[in-house]
Structure 1
Amino acid sequence: MTNPHLTLQGVSCQLPDGRLLFSGLDASFDVRRTGLVGRNGVGKSVLARMLAGQWPPSSGRLQTQGTTYYLAQEPCRDAGTTVATATGVATTLEALARIESGSVDAADYDLIGSRWTLRQDLEQALHEQGLDHLDASTPMARLSGGEAARVVFAGALLSDADFLILDEPSNHLDRDARRSLIAQFQAWPKGLIVVSHDRELLRHMERIVELSPLGLRSYGGNYDLYAAQSEQERADAERELTQRKAERRREERALRDQRERAERRESRGNRGVRDANQAPILLGRQKERSEVTTGRLRERQEHHRSVLDERVRLAAQRVDDRQAPVMRVDNAMHSSFRIASLDGVRLAHLSGATATVDLSITAGQRIGLVGGNGSGKSTLLRTLAGKLAPLEGRRHAWAPVAYLDQQLTDLDPTRSALDLMRGVNNERGESELRTRLAQIGIDAHAATLPSGQLSGGQRLAMGLAMAIHADPPARLLLLDEPGNHLDLDTLRALENMLNELEAALVVVSHDEVFLERIGLTERLEATAAGWKRTPC
């Protein structure tokens, strides 16, 4: 199809609970590779589904020229889901099998259309994703997160849609798989909209569109251009807020002086009226005129004051929209204190050279745990956290350890963020705990919701806050792909927090930009020869 496009006209979305997620969105998406960014909870995933025709607008209109294919953030790996169903070809393959067995049902032929080579096409698509060991019948439940992500991306490519709309497609992918994904994006000849916080991936986009409470804004370039312009807008917004506040102070003084002059004139007029020898009816009319004049002045001043307040409010909203979250850190450990160790450990579920490990961690160390998908990084982290017992050897911990896995399984989804924070620190009052939560993007309303209703990024930020502000605080943070669910602003806030943190850190991540920015002291890499430590 020539000139495929998606156009939003005055689109809004109101959630079932009555909350307005976004409104008045006007935008057009063409075949340029487009990155859709924005803070967690602002509605990026809902907007992506809306663009794909899977979520109707509450008001406004979506115009679609061309076909779309939507890829959700988390691939389905439920029991019964196979590679064929995950890639969206199961029904067609079943029709093809029936025809090969002798079926002459017209419905089967309609299902296949021109896709007579679909079985071979699926094999080729899996091969291109490095998944030759899989076939159409392979259960998705057997696959790792990275393998599942590559399977569903193969399905997206097989769809041959005019627009691919992908929600966080690089989550769970290792470094090599991410590079392969970027190469395939660059080769994709049609429309592409990617919801992502992966800065390396966003650097290969041709356009960045940001969703915020103020609406949609398009930046005609890649992530680096967007980041530079966004930072400039943040500085401009803060400068405008300062100017608007100063303007309000000046105008308030002028209004006060004007009011005081009017009151003095009115007082002099009243004295003159009392001294004048006039008829009572004339005196009454003069008093009425004076009161009307004073009332009009008061109305004009109130209106002017409300205009000034609105200008300050709008300027503050622009600052809030651009203000990065803050993660404050309470540091207390300044030594080479030994925190944890793995002594002569043989790891469960692993074979080969990476099955054995010796590791000692002291205060201030920050280790990047790297390697391909399935190499044992998460197993090592779980053993270090005490969640998984080693087959041989000993695990020791001499200080509090906090472990956040990719699914955040230790965060009870039925309890609120405020309740969870109280559970780890009952020494601080509710007001301070609410302030800590607000600093990481969990407002007063969200703080009282069951944590399972929060976004993935909010839940991760909450887990970090619980570790940092626990009593006593964690002295070793073990993080498994912490950036997978964070928006760009919160990711930068996390980087800043980790740079200030004096507790030890072991982090699994495939995000090279993130690893470069958190001040690693060394890397521990899973290789064919075993675990290799390299100073940074």
Structure 2
Amino acid sequence: MPTTRPTSAPVVSLTGVSFAWPDGTPALRGLDLLVPPGRSALVGANGAGKSTVLRLVAGELAPSSGVVSVAGEVGYLPQDLTLDAGRDVADFLGVAATLDALRAVEAGSVDPAHYDAVGDDWDVEERATATLARLGLPDGTLGRRLGELSGGEVVQLGLARLLLARPEVLLLDEPTNNLDAAARARLYDVVDAWGGALLVVSHDRELLERVDRVGDLHDGAVRWYGGGYSAYVEQVEAEQEAAERAVTAARSDVRRQRADRQEAERLLAQRKRQGARNAATSNMGKGAQDFWKNRSEKHAAKYRRLHDDRLDAARERLDDAEARLRDDRVVRVDLPATEVPRGRVVLTTSGLVLRTGAEVDDGALDVHGPDRIAVVGPNGAGKTTLLHTVAGRLAPAAGEVSLRVPAGLLPQRLDVLDDARSVYENVAAAAPGRDRTEVRAMLARFLFRGARADVAAGALSGGERLRATLAAVLLADPAPQLLLLDEPTNNLDFAAYDALVSALAAYRGALLVVSHDPGFLDDVGVDRVLELG
């Protein structure tokens, strides 16, 4: 059964921690969290504050109130590494100064400053090269610049920097984003072999199977479940079944208490009428009548309070039971304008060579009707470049792309939205022909109801941003009949993942999707696979 606290001495402790963003929006309120040694995962809905917790522990953010303490040095891999494209890899890894000093000594320098810079780290180049190789980065990476690396290679490089630093506490935020299958397998090996404390935020179910415990951040509190992802799901499902039974019982009790309350009122009214008749036909004096009337009213008030208290208690039990139920809603939307008749030509290519140098055989990317095609391959093979070429954002190195229908691109970085504008304003701008009421009705089906549609795009969580971007792309005018998706499951919690899958189930056009997640490709019903590289 789950526990509210881990049982081992904590390596990370948050006590009464609150945090609010500069605009005053609260992210955490009075959070208590104890993370023990070993491998721990933190899960929860998008916007629950998981990444904020990691940033507080890493020292990137300061709490508005409360105390954060960590036993040991922290290494932190954020969700999206912001890198200077011109920076050297060696400098990013923190070994450039040592390498420069080492080469100076090898060239004959006797400057004490060079020896001080090297210290005991004479094997720094071998360690760095071995660490890069362990993570699958190609030979020569140490001498490259960051701008020459793919998104997946950047994630691997960020992990390599942490491994070289050897922190006591390792924080990983969605570390499998953008990683191909081989890179994911290497990351899993790192997690399996990690000897210090680990706290990971991830939607990757295979990664979550490798942890010792799962902490569920829900309604501002963390509840711990022993075991990996499967054990967590099993325990949560058992809790939800119990909560559903409790809700059913509590609703029945409320109905019963409400009926009893109505019956009590009927009986009191009946007694009042009978009392009035008795008083009218008796020879009782006015003083005696007033006495019995007062006594009857007191009894009636006491009787009402008894039934009111019982009804209030039943309602409280219902509220408590409903609070234990998860609100994992799914997107429900019908998109008839995206429909493409079977057999209709959607996309063809001729002699296509991407700017990465990858060649696409004629016919390999031809799309007809509502075809669903997965584009797979190792990091750096050109998958993202292919989608941007099809969308017209990049020109091919050679050959041509013939796109016969409107297309919509959901890019990996979800940079379609204007962060300063609200969700509603972003979607309305993409579909200027739709009236205000229609846009808001459609946004409600993407789970942006009421005031939530007026939140600035820059304040959205990862999963919310994906839903908002998906709405802006799918509800555009003209509607896209070819949808291009680049790693769409990055940063999604499990409910947001289900929302994405349900939205794509309603999509009637053709689909070209880049993903390293085989489970997702199965869920969206891919018809065939194009492998690059």
**Which category of TM-score, normalised to the shorter sequence, fits these structures?**
0.7 to 0.9
Per the normalisation by structure 1, the TM-score is 0.85
Q: Match for 2:222 among 206, 216, 219?
A: 216
Whether 1:330 aligns to 2:312 is no
Secondary structure class of the residue paired with 1:349: coil
Q: 2:38 aligns with which of 24, 32, 45?
A: 32
Could you tell me which runs of 5 or more consecutive residues in structure 1 were left unpaired when the two chains were aligned: 528-536
Counterpart AA for 1:422: A
Partner of residue 407, structure 1: 413
Q: In the alignment, what sits opposite 1:48?
A: 54
The aligned residue for residue 512 of structure 1 is 518
- In structure 1, the partner of 2:367 is 361
Question: 1:227–1:363: structure 2 CA closer, same or farther, 3 Å change rule?
Answer: farther
1:133 aligns with 2:140: yes
Q: Secondary structure at the match of 2:350?
A: strand
Structure 1 range deviating more: 117-126 or 66-75: 117-126
Q: 1:489 aligns with which of 495, 513, 521?
A: 495
Give the secondary-structure state (helix, strand or coil) at the position aligned to 2:531. strand
User: 1:316 — aligned with what?
Assistant: 322
Q: Please, which moves more after superposition, 95-104 or 116-125?
A: 95-104
* Aligned partner of residue 341 in structure 2, secondary structure: coil
- Where structure 2 has 5 or more consecutive residues not aligned to the other structure, the ranges are 1-7
State the 1:15 CA deviation: 4.3
- Structure 1 residue 260 and structure 2 residue 266: aligned? yes
1:523 aligns with 2:532: no
- Matched length: 521
Query: Aligned partner of 1:173: which letter?
Result: L
| 1: CA distance, partners of 2:392 / 2:60 | 42
In structure 2, what is the Cα distance between the partners aligned to 1:361 and 1:44?
A: 40
Q: In the alignment, which residue of structure 2 is the partner of 1:161?
A: 167
What does the per-residue CA deviation read over 1:228-282, in whole Å, with 9 as the maximum and x for residues that have no partner? 3334444444443333323222221111111221222233334444555555555
**Residue 376 of structure 2 is aligned with which of 366, 370, 373?**
370
The answer on 1:251 being equivalent to 2:260 is no
Would the alpha carbon gap of residues 432 and 246 (structure 1) be closer, same or farther in structure 2, given more than 3 Å must change? Answer: farther
Change (3 A) 1:441 1:157: farther
Q: Is the 1:421–1:433 contact (alpha carbons within 8 Å) kept by the matching residues of 2?
A: yes
Pick from 102, 111, 117: which aligns with 2:111?
102
Cα distance change, pair 51–275 in 1 and its aligned pair in 2 (3 A): farther
Q: Is the 8 A contact 1:347 1:379 kept in 2?
A: no
Preserved contact between residue 10 and residue 25 of structure 1 (Cα < 8 Å): yes
Distance 2:241 2:428 in 1: 36
1-structure distance, mates of 2:213, 2:261: 47
Change (3 A) 1:425 1:306: farther
Counterparts in 2 of 1:184-263, with a 5 A limit? 184-213=190-219, 215-263=221-269
| Helix, strand or coil at the partner of 1:445 | helix
Q: Does the residue aligned with 1:502 lie in a helix, a strand or coil? A: coil
TM-score normalized with structure 2 length:
0.85
Shifted more, 178-187 versus 307-316: the winner is: 307-316
- Shift of the alpha carbon at 1:167? 0.6
2:385 alignment partner, SS class: helix
Whether the 8 Å CA contact 1:131–1:147 is kept in 2: the answer is: no
Task: Please state how far the C-alpha of 1:374 moved relative to its aligned partner.
Answer: 1.5
In 1, are the aligned partners of 2:88 and 2:145 still within 8 Å (CA)? yes
Deviates more, 1:212-221 or 1:326-335: 326-335
More displaced 10-residue stretch of structure 1: 398-407 or 283-292: 283-292
**What letter is aligned with 2:228?**
N
Return closer, same or farther for 1:88/1:236 CA change in 2, 3 Å cut-off.
Answer: farther
- Quick one: distance in 2 between partners of 1:206 and 1:46? 22
> How far apart are residue 148 of structure 1 and its match?
1.3
Contact preservation (8 Å) 2:37, 2:197 = yes
**Identity score, percent:** 35
1:462 partner amino acid: A
Residue 365 of structure 1: how far off its partner (Å) = 0.9
Report the Cα offset of residue 371 of structure 1: 0.5
Q: Distance in 2 between matches of 1:408 and 1:338?
A: 29
Alpha-carbon distance in structure 2 between the residues aligned to 1:497 and 1:196: 22
Partner of 1:531: none
Give SS of 2:76's match.
strand
Of stretches 307-316 and 55-64 in structure 1, the one that deviates more from structure 2 is: 55-64
The question of 1:67 aligning with 2:73 is answered yes
The letter for the 2-side match of 1:133 is G
1:182 positional shift: 0.8
Counterpart residue type for residue 216 of structure 2: E
The answer to whether 1:150 aligns with 2:156 is yes
Tell me if the contact between 2:372 and 2:527 (Cα under 8 Å) persists in the aligned partners.
yes
CA deviation vs aligned residue, 1:179-225 (integer Å, no higher than 9, x gap): 11111111111111111111222222232222112622222222222
